[in-house]
Amino acid sequence: MSDNMNNEFEQLLANESLVTIHNGEIVEGTVISVKEDEIVLNINYKADGIITRNEYSNQPIDLTSVVKEGDVMKAKVLKVNDGEGQVLLTYKRLAMEKSNERIKEAFENKEVLKATVSAVLSGGLSVVVEETKVFIPASLVSDTYEKDLTKYAGQEIEFVISEFNPKKRRIIGDRKQLLVAEKKKLQEELFERIHVGDKVEGTVKNLTDFGAFIDLGGADGLLHISEMSWGRVENPKKVFSVGDKTTVLIKDIKEDKIALSLKFEDQNPWLNADGKYNVGSVVKGKVARMADFGAFIELEPGVDALLHVSQISKEHVDKPSDVLKVGQEIEAKVVDFKNEEHKISLSIKALLNDSEETEEAAPAEEEATEE
């Protein structure tokens, strides 16, 4: 056989071993060259296959960091001839089809997916699962309204697929329902665990003029301003800051509402009142508040006594505010004490009378001594 005939025969055999390919077909090839933005594959065809960076991934990656010469990979034919005799391939679209199947399966099984937020958009968040973009609308990002979503950029989040329609490129993720379900579970566990009278630890979540909302780890409880101290609290913001940790008492539970208190019974100042404020004792205190019928005197935080308007002075007093001011310190005599009812009555008049009697008795005693 002549050399010409040998060459023709070898060429014929080579051509016989080459495959025939069509647009849309999946082919397998070996990487023979890779640059930052292009992969060249030997696909056992008369021309090599080219995968550009845009057709490898939706992410702007350096192809040399993910593929090396000698790697075997599958790709899909975009164009058999790009006009320059090369075969244009796509790896991304093949991966997208595969990840779409994965997402469809997750949608049907209500599976929880995890992915990193790739973009914060005006209406929500975009995440990429393998090669498929999933959109999470702002209303489904959290169980509370969040005006600024930028904090989620680059953050790994969990979500479920609530809508799957790849033909319309509508694949919707939902993070909110996971948060709602988790909170409900924690709430149920909390209510099973707590009872009236328990002491629990919580974190100050929000402050208002009337009290503080304490996060107990599953539900919030209200610590009303009147329950913050045995004494008087003017403003919750002077006592607490958001984020403070505190131990509170479960005062009451009604359905899903929890009332809290910091008035621990072992710290009740009335426990030690007997003996300190017996009838006849002379005490000091500050004017806490006033009414037309008298002034309330704070003897110590949590212990108030009534100074009736008729007991303020030996002279007639129309209103306590005519002679007293809130915050003013006074000295008076205890004229009535009822510990069980937490009632103490004071009199400045009685103290003045005692003083006069003492002064009148003093000269008489002196005369008696002289005799």
The reply to whether 105 and 61 lie within a common domain is: no
Contact 151, 117 (CB under 8 A): no
Residues 50 and 2 sit within 8 Å (Cβ to Cβ): no
Structure confidence at residue 360 as a pLDDT band (50, 70, 90): low
pLDDT at 58: 76
Cα 12 from chain centroid?
72
pLDDT in tens, 148-162: 999 999 999 999 999
Domain boundary residue, one of 153, 179, 205: 179
For residues 228 and 262, the answer to whether their CB atoms sit within 8 Å is: yes
What is the arithmetic mean of pLDDT over 219-242? 92
The one-character DSSP state at 157 is E
What pLDDT is stored for residue 361 in this prediction? 58
**Quick check: is 82 in a domain?**
yes
More confident residue, 22 or 358: 22
Segment 189-218, tens digit of pLDDT: 999 999 999 999 999 999 999 999 999 998
pLDDT on residue 18: 60
Question: Residues near 173 by Cβ (< 8 Å), separated by ≥ 6?
Answer: 113, 125, 127, 134, 135, 136, 140, 159, 160, 161, 162
Domain membership flag for residue 282:
yes
- Residue 13 has a pLDDT of 45
Residue 292, pLDDT above cutoff 80: yes
Clarify whether residues 282 and 210 are in a common domain.
no
Positive or negative CA dihedral for 45, 51, 56, 61?
positive
Look up the CATH number of the domain holding residue 49: 2.40.50.140
At residue 57, the pLDDT reads 86
Domain contains 369: no
**SS3 call for 175:** coil
Q: What region, left, alpha or beta, does residue 322 occupy, with left being phi > 0 and alpha being psi -120 to 50 degrees? A: alpha
Please report the pLDDT score of residue 214 as a whole number: 96
In a domain, 206, yes or no: yes
DSSP result, 132-145: EEEEEEGGGT-SS-
Is residue 4 included in any domain, yes or no?
Answer: no
Same domain, yes or no, for 261 and 276? no
331 and 277 together in one domain: yes
Place 365 in a pLDDT band, splitting at 50, 70 and 90.
very low
Query: Looking at the predicted structure, is the pLDDT value of residue 172 above 90?
Result: yes
pLDDT surpassing 90 at residue 254 = yes
The tokens 């948060």 sit on which residue?
Answer: 179
Q: Are residues 320 and 283 in the same domain?
A: yes
Domain assignment present for 96: no
Q: What single-letter amino acid sits at 253?
A: I
**Which string of DSSP letters, residue by residue, matches 202-264?**
EEEEEE-SSEEEEE-SSSEEEEEGGGS-SS--S-GGGT--TT-EEEEEEEEEETTEEEEE---
State percent of the chain over pLDDT 90.
70
pLDDT surpassing 80 at residue 125? yes
Let me know if residue 125 belongs to a domain. yes
pLDDT band at 245 (very low <50, low <70, confident <90, very high): very high
Domains of the chain: total: 4
Backbone angles phi, psi at 312, to 5 degrees: -80, -40
Establish if 295 belongs to a structural domain: yes
220, 250, 265: which is the final residue of a domain?
A: 265
pLDDT, tens digit, 9 for 90 and up, residues 58-94? 778 899 999 999 999 999 999 988 777 889 999 988 8
Range of 230's domain? 195-265
Decide if pLDDT at 241 tops 70. Answer: yes
